[in-house]
């Protein structure tokens, strides 16, 4: 057996550079790295030696550079991914939030945090957490509940089993998610005679599981028996590349489609059978159909509470759920009829078995009525002197968008209103991280999207609250010459949660800056801050000025940031659905007691 002597770190990066996609490119397209004493000597030396084959990117914060890696994988439908490495201690812990985000959203990312010394000679090493009752524990154990696969590399030969397991998880459609390989820092530098065959190029095939015959027959029978079925399109439609199959299936059988946050853009907004967003942030057209549906066909959705209205949306007493999902865990939720398979394969096989079976599609007037209302709230204001709403900002961005635009967001007011109001014209033109709804994902995510699809026009929508939490990868985008457009809506605090606080009867408290106990009012010049990192930045005061700035941003060669003050209170009057947010059972506030009474009434509607 021919061997090659490498350090464990050198072996890891050499192996990763030879794991290929079916398109003939490395599955791991690059490594984001912030070096510290736990990875600079081992991983740092190894990455420097392979820089021409495996690109290393320098981030500003461990969490945000992981967000960029995750957004990259999401935008490419999980067909490629990135790795992220940090030192031990706080650097590693900074990535745990990002790991949870990837886990919730079923997205591939490889975390390589440095770990303590395997030989324990210098214990306790700098930044080491000592568990008084567990000699094996380190901060990296925090990754275990938020990783699909976790391993600790404490001997060089561990890579021979750990790396293939990691790649299997990253490329498996059902088990896909974050992988953590905690890499002991002395092990990184330790040499071993590895088999040359371990580094041979390997192509990873994206598996498309076919359904069990019995499950397929049950699914077909359920659809044939249904009088008013509806399809709930989730993120799995995108990950399977099933958007065309979905369009063909819906058209042939007359079944309306509604879209989750992750599924939005599965069909063009103007497709005759796309009745819009569903659930808490849904359209009146979609929710009206779901309320009466007798068969809810979930395709690649995990039925999150925003989709189901906390399981109060589907009101038909005869309602059944058919869950087509590649992951058995998701397919068995809420006593669903399971159909465990790839979304594209499943739709094609069901369609073939249904033949010309067709139901009556809903009246198109439902959809038209919804978009009439949506167009009204996104239209430019007649009085240009009024403080704009977030809805009007969305309208301005929509009018400035092009065919190749990707709009993205993650938390706060914008996700709900974008879900309701944005008109997505093609698949993957709408990028929303709403599984974990992680504030701070936005700018780093925009960077990741642009790295994934450099020809796309990426527009990042972010509130002032999220911008304050994590904005430093804007400097990275400037340094890398990655052009994105960032629209900051400044409502002077956490406007979304302030409205929720009011809706549950609470007084306005500690959300908007005006309702905090701070001695001095917050007055942040976001444009100046963004400009200090090298972006082209400006503040506008009207929707007309915003549209002009967006059109001007097309000619920019560096990231562009546009700031606009917005009114923190208005939301769309139409659409939406109940969401279970527990209201205090006892309070001195009459408003809370009234909200509690309404809450108890709403609970009775849940099925």
The DSSP bridge pattern shows strands 536-540 and 295-299 to be unpaired
**Is the domain of 199 the same as that of 218?**
no
Please indicate, yes or no, if residue 580 is contained in any of the structural domains.
Answer: no
Instruction: Give 157-184 pLDDT, tens digit per residue.
Output: 999 999 999 999 999 999 999 999 999 9
Q: How would residue 383 be classed by pLDDT, with cut points 50, 70 and 90?
A: confident
Please indicate, yes or no, if residue 301 is contained in any of the structural domains.
Answer: yes
**Is the domain of 26 the same as that of 97?**
yes
**Is the domain of 387 the same as that of 512?**
yes
**Is the domain of 195 the same as that of 227?**
no
**Is the domain of 547 the same as that of 469?**
yes
CATH classification of the domain holding 334: 3.40.50.1220
Give the Cα separation of 272 and 260 in Å (integer).
Answer: 17
Under 8 Å CB-to-CB from 106, ≥6 apart: which residues?
A: 78, 176, 177, 235, 239, 327
The answer, yes or no, to whether residue 384 has pLDDT greater than 80, is no
- CA 17-19-20 angle, 5° bins: 110
Please indicate, yes or no, if residue 372 is contained in any of the structural domains.
Answer: no
Q: What is the DSSP string of 304-372?
A: -HHHHTTTTS---TT-EEEEEESSHHHHTGGG-EEEES-HHHHHHHHHHHHTT---PPPPTHHHHHHHH
Q: Are 408 and 428 within 8 A, CB to CB?
A: no
The answer, yes or no, to whether residue 385 has pLDDT greater than 80, is no
Angle between helices 495-503 and 413-421 (to 10 degrees): 90
CATH classification of the domain holding 109: 3.40.50.970
Q: What percent of the chain has pLDDT over 90?
A: 97
Instruction: Give 518-567 pLDDT, tens digit per residue.
Output: 888 888 999 999 999 999 999 999 999 999 999 999 999 999 999 999 99
pLDDT for 519: 85
Give the Cα separation of 460 and 71 in Å (integer).
Answer: 12
Q: Are 487 and 559 within 8 A, CB to CB?
A: no
In this structure, what token pair is assigned to residue 235?
Answer: 């993120």
Please indicate, yes or no, if residue 285 is contained in any of the structural domains.
Answer: yes
Residue 3 dihedral angles phi and psi, to the nearest 5° = -125, 165
Total domains, the chain: 3
Please indicate, yes or no, if residue 434 is contained in any of the structural domains.
Answer: yes
Q: Indicate the residue among 160, 181, 203 that finishes a domain.
A: 203
How long is the chain?
Answer: 607
**Is the domain of 441 the same as that of 298?**
no
Give the Cα separation of 155 and 12 in Å (integer).
Answer: 12
The DSSP bridge pattern shows strands 430-432 and 405-409 to be parallel
Q: How would residue 216 be classed by pLDDT, with cut points 50, 70 and 90?
A: very high
In this structure, what token pair is assigned to residue 341?
Answer: 């398979």
**Is the domain of 410 the same as that of 555?**
yes
In this structure, what token pair is assigned to residue 511?
Answer: 């959300």
The DSSP bridge pattern shows strands 3-7 and 191-195 to be antiparallel
Instruction: Give 318-364 pLDDT, tens digit per residue.
Output: 999 999 999 999 999 999 999 999 999 999 999 999 999 999 999 99
Enclosing domain of residue 528: 379-565
Instruction: Give 556-599 pLDDT, tens digit per residue.
Output: 999 999 999 999 999 998 899 999 999 999 999 999 999 999 99
Helix (H), strand (E), coil (C) string for 96-156: HHHHHHHHHHCCCEEEEEEECCCCCCCCCCCCCCCCCCCCCCCHHHHHHHHCCEEEEECCH
Helix (H) or strand (E) run with residue 46 in it: helix 42-49
**Is the domain of 403 the same as that of 356?**
no
**Is the domain of 125 the same as that of 156?**
yes
pLDDT for 43: 98
In this structure, what token pair is assigned to residue 455?
Answer: 């020809």
Please indicate, yes or no, if residue 588 is contained in any of the structural domains.
Answer: no
Q: Indicate the residue among 531, 547, 565 that finishes a domain.
A: 565
| Averaged pLDDT of the chain | 97
Edge-first strand listing for the sheet containing 430-432: 430-432, 405-409, 457-463, 485-490, 560-565, 536-540
Token pair 């009246």 is found at 363
Q: Indicate the residue among 318, 345, 366 that finishes a domain.
A: 366
**Is the domain of 184 the same as that of 271?**
no
Residue 492's nearest CA partner among 387, 353, 346 is 387
**Is the domain of 72 the same as that of 188?**
yes
* Furthest C-alpha separation in the chain: 79
- CA 237-274-287 angle, 5° bins: 100
Token pair 């009434």 is found at 601
In this structure, what token pair is assigned to residue 493?
Answer: 């605090």
Instruction: Give 267-279 pLDDT, tens digit per residue.
Output: 999 999 999 999 9
pLDDT for 1: 86
Burial class (CB in 10 A: 0-12, 13-18, 19+), 10: buried
Please indicate, yes or no, if residue 586 is contained in any of the structural domains.
Answer: no
Give the Cα separation of 79 and 176 in Å (integer).
Answer: 11
Instruction: Give 433-456 pLDDT, tens digit per residue.
Output: 999 999 999 999 999 999 999 999
Please indicate, yes or no, if residue 45 is contained in any of the structural domains.
Answer: yes
Instruction: Give 96-116 pLDDT, tens digit per residue.
Output: 999 999 999 999 999 999 999
**Is the domain of 498 the same as that of 414?**
yes
Give the Cα separation of 298 and 324 in Å (integer).
Answer: 6
Mean pLDDT of 500-505: 96
In this structure, what token pair is assigned to residue 287?
Answer: 């929710």
Give the Cα separation of 75 and 458 in Å (integer).
Answer: 11
Under 8 Å CB-to-CB from 23, ≥6 apart: which residues?
A: 79
pLDDT for 416: 95
Indicate the DSSP class of residue 226. -
């Amino acid at each position: 057996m021919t061997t090659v002597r490498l350090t464990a770190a050198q072996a890891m990066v050499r192996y990763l550079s030879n794991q290929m996609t079916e398109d003939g490119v490395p599955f791991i397209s690059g490594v984001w790295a912030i070096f510290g004493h736990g990875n600079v000597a081992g991983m740092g030396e190894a990455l420097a030696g392979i820089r021409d084959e495996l690109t290393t990117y320098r981030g500003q914060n461990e969490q945000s550079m992981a967000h960029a890696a995750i957004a990259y994988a999401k935008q490419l439908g999980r067909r490629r991914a990135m790795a992220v490495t940090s030192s031990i201690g706080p650097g590693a812990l900074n990535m745990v939030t990002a790991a949870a985000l990837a886990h919730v959203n079923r997205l591939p990312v490889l975390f390589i945090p440095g770990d303590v010394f395997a030989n324990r000679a210098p214990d306790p090493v700098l930044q080491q957490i000592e568990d008084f009752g567990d000699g094996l524990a380190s901060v990296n154990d925090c990754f275990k509940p938020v990783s699909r696969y976790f391993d600790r590399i404490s001997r060089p030969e561990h890579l021979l089993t750990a790396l293939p397991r990691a790649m299997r998880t990253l490329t498996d459609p059902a088990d896909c998610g974050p992988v953590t390989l905690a890499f002991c820092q002395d092990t990184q530098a330790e040499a071993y005679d590895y088999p040359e065959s371990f580094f041979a190029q390997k192509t990873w095939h994206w598996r498309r599981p076919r359904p069990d015959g019995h499950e397929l027959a049950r699914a077909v029978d359920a659809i044939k028996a249904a009088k008013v079925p509806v399809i709930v399109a989730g993120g799995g439609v995108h990950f399977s590349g099933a958007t065309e199959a979905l369009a063909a299936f819906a058209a042939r059988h007359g079944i309306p489609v509604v879209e989750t946050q992750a599924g939005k853009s599965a069909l063009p907004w103007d497709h005759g059978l796309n009745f819009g967003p569903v659930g808490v942030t849904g359209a009146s057209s979609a929710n009206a159909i779901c309320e009466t549906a007798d068969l809810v066909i979930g395709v690649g959705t995990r039925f999150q509470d925003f989709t189901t209205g906390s399981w109060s949306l589907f009101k038909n007493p005869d309602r059944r759920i058919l869950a087509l999902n590649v992951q058995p865990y998701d397919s068995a939720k809420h006593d669903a009829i399971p159909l465990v398979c790839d979304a594209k394969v499943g739709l094609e096989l069901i369609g073939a078995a249904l033949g010309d079976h067709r139901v009556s599609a809903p009246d198109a007037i439902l959809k038209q009525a919804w978009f009439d209302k949506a167009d009204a709230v996104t239209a430019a204001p007649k009085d240009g002197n009024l403080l704009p709403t977030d809805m009007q900002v969305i309208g301005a961005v929509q009018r400035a968008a092009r065919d190749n635009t990707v709009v993205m967001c993650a938390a706060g007011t914008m996700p709900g209103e974008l879900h309701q109001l944005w008109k997505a014209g093609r698949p993957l033109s709408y990028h929303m991280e709403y599984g974990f709804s992680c504030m701070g994902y936005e700018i780093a995510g925009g960077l990741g999207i642009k790295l994934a699809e450099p020809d796309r026009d990426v527009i990042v929508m972010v509130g002032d609250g999220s911008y304050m939490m994590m904005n430093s990868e804007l400097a990275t985008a400037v340094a890398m010459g990655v052009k994105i457009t960032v629209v900051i809506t400044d409502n002077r605090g956490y406007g979304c949660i302030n409205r929720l606080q009011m809706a549950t009867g609470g007084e306005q408290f500690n959300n908007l800056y005006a309702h905090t106990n701070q001695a001095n009012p917050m007055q942040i010049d976001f444009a100046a801050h963004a400009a200090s990192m090298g972006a082209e930045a400006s503040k506008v005061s009207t929707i007309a000025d915003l549209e002009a700035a967006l059109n001007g941003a097309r000619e920019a060669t560096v990231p562009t940031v546009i700031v606009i003050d917005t009114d923190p209170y208005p939301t769309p009057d139409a659409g939406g659905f109940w969401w279970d947010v527990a209201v205090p059972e006892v309070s001195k506030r009459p408003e809370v007691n009234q909200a509690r009474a309404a809450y108890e009434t709403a609970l009775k509607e849940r099925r």
